[in-house]
Amino acid sequence: MKTPVSTEAAPFAIGPYSQAIRHQGTLYISGQIGLIPGDSVIFRTEISEQIDQVFANIVAILSEADSTVDDILKLNIYLTDLEHFDLINKKMSQIFNPPYPARATVEVSCLPKGAIVEIDAIAKCD
């Protein structure tokens, strides 16, 4: 049975979807952009600050599911400009320890609310 996971410590979904779904020991976290929890405004226009807010949102959802960043198995990262690829690598090396999660990074033409980055995640959870 799939079970929704939701927390006020991360932004509410801006459409008909869940922040995350728990199913058979796996947590599927919907794409997170740099929204401030409780608000519908992008945190900052700077890519570095948006990345930090995105990961803070992901950590809040993980915490609600009794998981941590160490439980993340896969990330999908969407950037409006692949010029930010090196910065994503730098930020990930500050957040994660080896073995790093599997990852795909793709450039997209635009993201909701003018975001520069969006990240979704798959993590293990008990």
Domain locations in the chain?
3-124
CA 122 – CA 28 distance, rounded (Å): 5
pLDDT band at 42 (very low <50, low <70, confident <90, very high): confident
pLDDT over 90 at 38, yes or no: no
Residue 108 has pLDDT above 80, yes or no: yes
The band of 39, judged by pLDDT with boundaries at 50, 70 and 90, is confident
Give the mean model confidence (pLDDT) for residues 3-31: 96
Nearby residues of 63 by Cβ (< 8 Å), 6 or more positions away: 7, 9
Domain 3-124 part of CATH 3.30.1330.40 = yes
Residue 126: band (very low, low, confident or very high) from pLDDT cuts 50, 70, 90: confident
Whether the per-residue pLDDT at 89 is higher than 90: the answer is yes
